[in-house]
Amino acid sequence: MGTYYTIGVINEFCASSKENLLIDQWKEILNERIDFDLFNITINETKIHGGIKMKDFADNILDFFNVLRKICGPKYNEDFDTYEKLYGTDIDKYPIKYEELFVEDRNKNLIKIETNFAMMMIEGKVIIEEFYTDPHLINWLFRNSNIPNKLSGAVISSVTF
């Protein structure tokens, strides 16, 4: 076995606050990290949960593989091809990985966003002791870049064991 790098699309998230928040307040806090339009949202007092809209995933995932290939250039990870062929447009077929993101609310309280995401590839063995900057960096770059695919609003990276 080993430790491997992976990237994928968030299919589910959950976050908690120290206070009750309305949907607009949650959007303000989480918008930098997650495109709410991609998710069915439920709020229960201090918690928010989002599950990806299956149709949005199915309608956009094949093109998103092409976006990733274009970004990576001719030496892209061939797992993109493998995962696309094996799992296609059905998010329930993809391997799922867990990762956390963190944001602050308006009072500077730390909010943990727990995510499950559909892995789109696994790349090489990596040696790592701590891994917390890259998921935030990759998530923010995709969420805030002008990439013409809805799924860019829910990208995350991680390491898997």
Q: What is the pLDDT of residue 161?
A: 72
Please determine, for residue 128, whether its predicted confidence score (pLDDT) is greater than 70.
no
**Nearest Cα to Cα of residue 12 among 99, 94, 115:** 115
Confidence of residue 131 (pLDDT cuts 50, 70, 90): low
Interval 7-32 mean pLDDT = 94
Q: What is the pLDDT of residue 87?
A: 98
Q: What is the pLDDT of residue 68?
A: 95
Q: Which residues contact 139 (CB under 8 A, 6 or more apart)?
A: 33, 101, 155, 156, 157
Domain count, the chain: 1
What is the domain range of residue 21? 4-160
**Nearest Cα to Cα of residue 98 among 86, 113, 83:** 113
Query: What is the pLDDT of the chain when averaged over all its residues?
Result: 92
Please determine, for residue 112, whether its predicted confidence score (pLDDT) is greater than 80.
yes
Confidence of residue 130 (pLDDT cuts 50, 70, 90): low
Q: In the block, which residue shows the tokens 């059905």? A: 90
Confidence of residue 129 (pLDDT cuts 50, 70, 90): low
Please determine, for residue 136, whether its predicted confidence score (pLDDT) is greater than 90.
no
Give the pTM.
0.93
Q: pLDDT for 53-87, tens place per residue?
A: 999 999 999 999 999 999 999 999 999 999 999 99
Q: pLDDT for 23-59, tens place per residue?
A: 999 999 999 999 999 999 999 989 999 999 999 999 9
CA 82 to chain centre: 20
**Nearest Cα to Cα of residue 24 among 48, 1, 4:** 48
